[in-house]
Amino acid sequence: MSNIKTMPSVNEIAFGPAYIEELMQRFHYSDETKAIIRNENLLPAGVLKRLHTAFPQHSGFGENEKFHFEDKKQYVGVEGFREINAILESNGIHIGHLEERELFIHIYRFMATKHVLNTINWSDFKHDSVFQLVFPQPGMIRPDVAKAYLSTQDEHTRAQIVSDYMKETNPHDGNQKLNKPTFVNSEGKTEVLEGTQHKYPQCQLIFDVQTQNCFAFCNYCFRHAQVRGDEDMFIQKDVHQVHEYLKKHKEVTDVLITGGDAGYIKAERFEEYIRPVINDPELAHIKTIRLGTRVLTYSPEIIIQPSYNRMLELFSALNDNGIQLVFMSHFSTPRELMNPSTIAAIRRLKSHGVTCKSQSPIMNHISLFTDENGNVDIDRSAQNWIDLGNLFAMLGVGFHSMYCARPTGEHHYFTRPLADINKVFSKVYRSLASINRPSRYITMTSSAGKISILGTVELHGEKLFALKFNEARNMEWMDKVYLARYDEHQNTIANLVPFGAEKHFYEDELHEIENMLHDSIESTRHQQ
């Protein structure tokens, strides 16, 4: 069953100034936001008309029913989940499996915004991709754990079940903790950057102290240690330490502020990072600042409010000084884009020199669909991404990448065999114009790096996967295409069986690098 609504035809909607005013009223924009939209031409009738004409099956522009969620901006934790459920039930909507859903929340947490809740098609919520994205689903938690939890009402026992299972959730796949860099400071002491990752030469990740939260939580989040507040989180408190490190590492051209969600960083804190990059000649090697954020899906209205003006001024300052500012978003469904708040936010960012891109996870139940027999529906799944790619083009959003679910959290629920995912991706890639395709082949991250499936090849009558690194702990690994045995069932690239050898070509060197990184970090900590 599809979650696609039948929307009014373009001829049934009188796109024009009056319609735009009605649209803004429906979304309860403040007078200040309305003025920004009008004055900055953020919702041109021609854009909305063209989007609706091209993709009426995904459009929300013909809808006029009252939103279920109009008061609170955000719902948090079990209590927030129960508030949502009470509102739904008052409207005759019963999602069921409440205790099992709450078990997931106790383990991984829960947060949803008014905006994303109103994006869901509640008349067919079970098949709605956004519902799958933010609401815990029955079958996510391992059956024996769910059964044990549901079979007792003893709170102590339930708490122990939650605690034990949390220890099994693999919050740092790919040996992420080995990516913390060390350096010798101006006083000759070695420091560890506890809130930073520097795995690939050109790019440094910063998990700032202000970005340890999200606007809403994705069920597939592979950084749930950050969300839960685990003891081994990445938290960067000292901005000066970052600049000192960067001055010693001229190979870094790209700084990615992430989290959690980089959309949470305040303008004053963001300015601490970027002013030295703009003004200090020793940091002239920094060419790009990226913000890893879901704000365009979960809370786009923030960007079209007057309170965001200071951030926009800083974005313009970066642009005026030859530094690229990139919003790295996650869009997996057309529905996430087809609303006035997201469109207005994208257009406002672009007007201030911001490059918007999407790195998109391909996830079962959300952007990967099965048929009545439980097999991957190649055509339907691919069409979701083809439509999304063309929507990106119409809104000027770069289609950076599609990537596979990482082996963390409830990986079993969101993953499908690589062979099927490759078929979906191949159809997407050949169906989009070259300028609108993802910038790389379907990718999966491991400790070794980001590995792409280039496709399949036959050699001596045997079908094989052709693989290649997009990023690697040793960047020279990227120069080599290598082969692995074709597997109809495997869902993790790093677990594919090497062809013609006992190990993949990089494994021995990877082991040496991991040991070296571990020893360096531990040695530095012992000295402190």
The domains of the chain are located at 10-54, 74-166, 446-528
Q: Could you tell me which of 87, 135, 70 has the C-alpha nearest to residue 108? A: 135
pLDDT for residue 9: 59
pLDDT for residue 264: 96
Model pLDDT for residues 350-398, shown as the tens digit of each residue: 999 999 999 989 999 999 999 999 999 999 999 999 999 999 999 999 9
C-beta of residue 303 within 8 angstroms of C-beta of residue 353: no
DSSP helix/strand/coil, 213: coil
Residue 216 or residue 12, greater confidence: 216
Residue the block writes with tokens 């999200």: 214
Strands 324-329 and 288-292, by their bridges, are parallel
> Rounded to an integer, what distance in angstroms lies between the CA atom of residue 303 and that of residue 312?
9
C-beta of residue 294 within 8 angstroms of C-beta of residue 215: yes
pLDDT value at 1 more than 50? no
Judge if pTM exceeds 0.85: yes
Dihedral of the CA atoms 47, 343, 9, 49 (nearest 10)? -10
Percent pLDDT > 70 in the chain is 98
Least reliable range by pLDDT among 9-23, 102-116, 335-349: 9-23
Band (4; pLDDT cuts 50, 70, 90): very low
Percent pLDDT > 90 in the chain is 87
Overall average pLDDT of the 471-487 stretch: 97
Q: Could you tell me which of 123, 323, 292, 308 has the C-alpha nearest to residue 206? A: 292
Q: Spell out where 298-448 has E strands.
A: 324-329, 354-362, 398-404, 443-445
pLDDT for residue 3: 46
The interaxial angle of helices 309-320 and 267-279, nearest 10 deg, is: 10
pLDDT value at 197 more than 90? yes
- Give the mean pLDDT of the chain: 94
C-alpha distances (whole Å) from 171 to each of 2, 231, 472 are: 33, 11, 21
Model pLDDT for residues 287-337, shown as the tens digit of each residue: 999 999 999 999 999 999 999 999 999 999 999 999 999 999 999 999 999
pLDDT for residue 2: 45
C-beta of residue 304 within 8 angstroms of C-beta of residue 42: yes
pLDDT value at 526 more than 50? yes
pLDDT value at 205 more than 80? yes
Overall average pLDDT of the 215-235 stretch: 84
Residue 278 sits at φ, ψ, to 5 deg, of -70, -45
pLDDT for residue 117: 98
pLDDT for residue 7: 54
Band (487; pLDDT cuts 50, 70, 90): very high
Dihedral of the CA atoms 62, 400, 310, 270 (nearest 10)? 140
pLDDT value at 230 more than 90? no
pLDDT for residue 224: 78
Model pLDDT for residues 43-94, shown as the tens digit of each residue: 999 999 999 999 999 998 988 889 999 989 999 999 999 999 999 999 999 9
Model pLDDT for residues 236-284, shown as the tens digit of each residue: 999 999 999 999 999 999 999 999 999 999 999 999 999 999 999 999 9
Band (528; pLDDT cuts 50, 70, 90): low
Model pLDDT for residues 431-443, shown as the tens digit of each residue: 999 999 999 999 9
